[in-house]
Structure 1
Amino acid sequence: MSTAAPPRTVAFLSLGCRVNQAEESTYRQHSLENGWTLVDFRQPADIYIVNTCAVTLEAERQSRQMIRQAKRRNPEARIVVTGCAGRSLERHPEIKEVADLFVPNLTKDNLVSQLQQFLGEAPHPGFDYHFPHVSVSKTTRLNLKITDGCFESCAFCIIPARRGTVRSLPEDQVIERLNAAADLGYQEAILTGVHLGAYGHEHGQHGLDQLLERINHEVRLPRVRLSSIDPHEVTPRMIRALAESTRICPYLHLPIQSGSDAILERMRRRDQRAQIIDTVAALKAALPDISLTTDMIVGFPGESDADFEASYTLMETLGIHKIHVFPFSVRPGTRAAFMKEHVPAETKQARVQRLLAYNQQILQQWLQSWVGQTVPVLFERVDRAGVGKGYSPHYLRVHVANCPSEYWNTVQQVCITGIDINQEMAQAELVLK
């Protein structure tokens, strides 16, 4: 027989992407509405919820490690496992022994309700899609999941098999939730999704282009940021919406992966080198100061010296501001796992180091270009030493000494005075009002 929920403590850990972080925000609010108390994952808790990642074998290993740590922290705790590694972890003997509940990705949006049922509690009557007030959130920037699943079939990626096909939140609900975030004290929201560029396509909607136009005119939230979008999905209409906006941040993460058309084809990517160059040129023509970051995979099966040089020279051509470099690693269950012509480890590592060295060079140049400029910074944290930490609209990480604690979760004008390349951030002073 179901009973009212007794007082419980619950701790969350989300590994991997912003989509997992967005889901955690919902789980946290549902837990609060259910009368549970949120505690840090490093503390003893009655319930531990681990939102796992499967993008690499290392990510899956970390997921197993965190589950085991939770059980050691409180052997009597209930352990809930969800996320992209959940399917394989459910078959893992050690994890199967310590975990109490596995929640599949396709039903994870109502995870807390499933947990209530598992615990024999009466379901909360009013659960809907909510997120916590900024004062009890883990971050002042809200990760808002507007789409899940993926239409693509990249050879190196297992996530479509774990997340399913694209499922999008209707436009009206996105607008409603962004405005609700403003009412709850947030200053910025990040639109997230496994395949963000496919937003709305499964319903024959106008997609991300129209959504951005509506955000420009209908949303009260000061800042909205896009997470990651493939270059071929950046349209002229989208670029216009970005250029005309005072709300959508002038920043894009474009996962390019390779500069070689031959490797892009082997990866089953839908981008081509010339099209990538044209897209970035169009973005910079409309938004000359736009900040661009990317992902590059080095050492994909069959990558020759010429293929790598194509990647390197593409980075030089584009003027990307930061490159996330990933050495290719075999992921069982993907098409790439069956490919031959593997790049020797020493060759792969040499290529990684060369691209990382170039990234250090361009990142330093980009950071230095901000010195002397005044920019608005959203302070996400003011630490005990009085150092305010936050980001500009261009995703410039900024630290400000002698920052008043009341500036937390506010946007303040600062003047960039220096850089710290090791921490990949800028130093600044508050502009006196």
Structure 2
Amino acid sequence: MKKAVNIISKPQTNELRKRLLKMEVKDFTCFSSPLVLSFAQNKTYHIRTYGCQANMRDEEIMAGLLENVGFKKTDDILTANLIILNTCCVRENAENKVIGEIGSLKNYRLNNEDVLLAVCGCMVQQEHMIDLIVKKYRHVDLIFGTHNLDNLIELIDISLRDNSRVVDVKSRPIEIIEKLPSLRNLKHKAFVNISYGCDKFCTYCIVPYTRGQERSRPKEEILSECQELINNGYQEITLLGQNVNSYGKDLKNNATFSMLLEEVAKLKIPRLRFLTSHPFDFSSDIIEVMKTYPNIMKYVHLPVQSGSDEILKLMGRKYTSKQYLQIIKDLRKNLPGVHISTDLIVGFPGEGEEQFLETLEVVKEAAYESAFTFIYSSRVGTPAAKLIDNVSREVKGERFQRLVDTLEVSIKKAADQMVGKTYPVLVDGISKKKKEILSGYTETNKLVHFPGDESLIGQIVYVEILKSHLHSLRGKIVDGVNK
């Protein structure tokens, strides 16, 4: 029987740029649903997450909500009674993967009456994607966005009670919800949101529209969450935000990211990281705090996107290549051994050979230790989508390879320089290829593989680097566990 479509809300294009002067903070209130409690008994769920660390953190919150009502996690998507596809839309390729996955689940969903299929996250914050799924993929039972994760159980209740396909995607956030349940993916390192959303509105980026207004969590809530993680034996915390450096600007209490970073560092977590930084807001006081506290890792992800001032202006990045490179120089001068990674976009509209060569020069001067490179992908609803895409696919591909080749020079050099030296490594888990091989990360976020027993997972060990590869290192434990 065909299910009716219950559209509670859909994002309105004219609402997506609006920002509230004040964002109310509320504690989570659990929704009680005997119907969902009954349905969840002896039922399993599977969440498949695409995209960034913010989505990974959202997955942990959804898992906490589901386990609170009785669902149990399964790693096998084709045995799950509730499947959630937690989506990304930062590039077209990410959306194509999700659409393919939705299609591949059609037979499983239609052949099992006790299965619900949900799609959530950034992709469905776009009205045209909601319309596509509702019309073409009628086996999808539930669509919800990034601003109402706390309503997940209530939305399942509506779908079950009315036997309907439910769509509830808010245009923008109106409050910050604290004290949400959470089931952490790892027992030794964790993401802690310090802010949500973004107000930068870079012309190519869909995130300010899908993640909404930049809003900072109260400092007390962040510190409390971090302290609880430390009390539970966590070794590493990553402070998370679309732009961590602008933390506090909406709180109107003179709070800054450097002040927050220092207060978290004082809690004495063994390892403290932060993601992601915007060069426009990256101030010298952040570097001073990093110098002062050795438990803040010497790793900074600082997206440049382009090395051409002309393209940076078209992108709305609000800095020049000279200003960006000065930050790099300050980091390397004040934090010896720091590793810096970046994001780069090839083929942005208007990028000619001259502009591309300027990017290569910045790459050479910055001498990155790692980088994430992308071919420009136009996003519906962004200002850049209105620009004429005058760079051919062939030219984009050729420039992409030249960029990668240039980046690999400094990346390889940095990796080679680590050979023969010993570093503390936080053991993450077992290698995907060999069960007798462990994997972990150095303080500078370099992936290391080495022989060891799985009992070491979650501990910090000293590893001598024996061999370097472009994106990973090989080594051996030399001094057991760092107590």
TM over 0.5: yes
| C-alpha distance after superposition, 1:340-360 (max 9, x if no partner) | 261122222221111111122
Structure 2 counterpart of 1:124: none
Distance in 2, matches of 1:394 and 1:72, equals 45
8 Å CA contact 1:64, 1:95 repeated in 2: no
In the alignment, which residue of structure 2 is the partner of 1:151?
199
CA distance in 2, matches of 1:17, 1:203: 25
Q: 2:446 maps to what in 1?
A: 396
Question: What is aligned with 2:58?
Answer: 23
Task: Rate the CA distance shift 1:341–1:42 in 2: closer, same or farther, 3 A.
Answer: closer
Task: Report the equivalent of 2:45.
Answer: 10
Distance in structure 2 (CA, Å) of the matches to 1:180 and 1:67: 37
| 2:79 pairs with 1:44 | yes
- AA of the residue aligned to 1:100: D
Residues in 1 aligned to 2:231 and 2:135: alpha-carbon distance in whole angstroms: 44
Q: For 1:169-213, what per-residue CA distance to the aligned partner results, in whole angstroms no more than 9, with x for missing partners?
A: 111111111122223343212222223222221112422111101
1:131 aligned to which of 161, 171, 182: 182
Q: Which residue in the other structure is 2:119 paired with?
A: 81
Cα distance in 2 for residues equivalent to 1:118 and 1:287: 54
Contact kept? 2:369, 2:410, Cα under 8 Å: yes
Question: For the residues of structure 2 that align with 1:337 and 1:388, how far apart are their CA atoms?
Answer: 44
Aligned to 1:214: 263
Cα deviation per residue 1:39-85 (whole Å; 9 max; x = unaligned)? 11534111011111111121111122223334433433111221111
**Distance apart, 1:110 and its partner CA:** 4.1
The residue correspondences of 1:18-417 to structure 2 (distance < 5 A) are 18-75=53-110, 76=112, 77-87=115-125, 88-92=128-132, 93-94=134-135, 96-116=137-157, 118-119=159-160, 128-132=179-183, 137=185, 140-205=188-253, 206-217=255-266, 219-340=267-388, 342-383=390-431, 385-401=435-451, 403-417=452-466
Cα offset, 1:104, TM superposition: 2.3
| Residue segments in structure 1 that go unaligned for 5+ positions in a row | 122-126
Cα gap change, 1:415 to 1:46, in 2 (>3 Å): same
Equivalenced residues, count: 421
Q: Indicate conservation of the 8 Å contact 2:203/2:316, yes or no.
A: yes
Structure 1 pair 116–387 and aligned structure 2 pair: CA distance change class (3 A): farther
Cα distance, 1:374 vs structure 2: 1.1
8 Å contact from structure 1 (residues 389, 398) kept in 2 = yes
Q: CA deviation at 1:118?
A: 4.3
Q: State the Cα distance separating 1:94 from its structure 2 match.
A: 4.9
Q: CA deviation at 1:333?
A: 1.7
Q: Which has the higher contact order (CA 8 A, sep 6+)?
A: 2
Q: Is the 8 A contact 2:65 2:152 kept in 1?
A: no
Per the alignment, do residues 400 and 112 of structure 1 end up closer, same or farther by CA in structure 2, a change over 3 Å counting? Answer: farther
Instruction: Normalising by structure 2, report the TM-score.
Output: 0.82
The alignment partner of 1:20 has SS state of helix
Q: Percent identity?
A: 26
Between the aligned partners of 1:385 and 1:238, the Cα distance in structure 2 is: 40
Shift of 1:139: 7.0
Alpha carbons 1:213, 1:241 under 8 Å: kept: yes
- 1:381-424 Cα shifts (integer Å, max 9, x gaps): 135631010101100100002x0121011111111111123xx1
Q: Which amino acid aligns with 2:367?
A: G
Q: Is the 2:77–2:83 Cα contact (8 Å) retained in structure 1?
A: no
Query: Alpha-carbon deviations, 1:293-338, whole Å to 9, x = none?
Result: 0011111111121111111001111121122221112222211111
Q: Which residue of 1 aligns with 2:175?
A: none
How far off is 1:106 after superposition?
1.6
Distance 1:96 1:148 in 2: 30
CA root-mean-square deviation: 2.1
Provide the C-alpha distance between the structure 2 equivalents of 1:72 and 1:228, rounded to a whole number of angstroms.
39
Distance 1:331 1:352, change over 3 A: same
Taking a change above 3 Å as real, the CA distance of residues 164 and 289 of structure 1, as seen in their structure-2 partners, is same
SS of the aligned residue for 1:190 comes to strand
Q: Cα gap change, 1:86/1:20 in structure 2, threshold over 3 Å: closer, same or farther? A: same
Inter-CA distance 95–216: structure 2 relative to 1 (3 Å threshold): farther
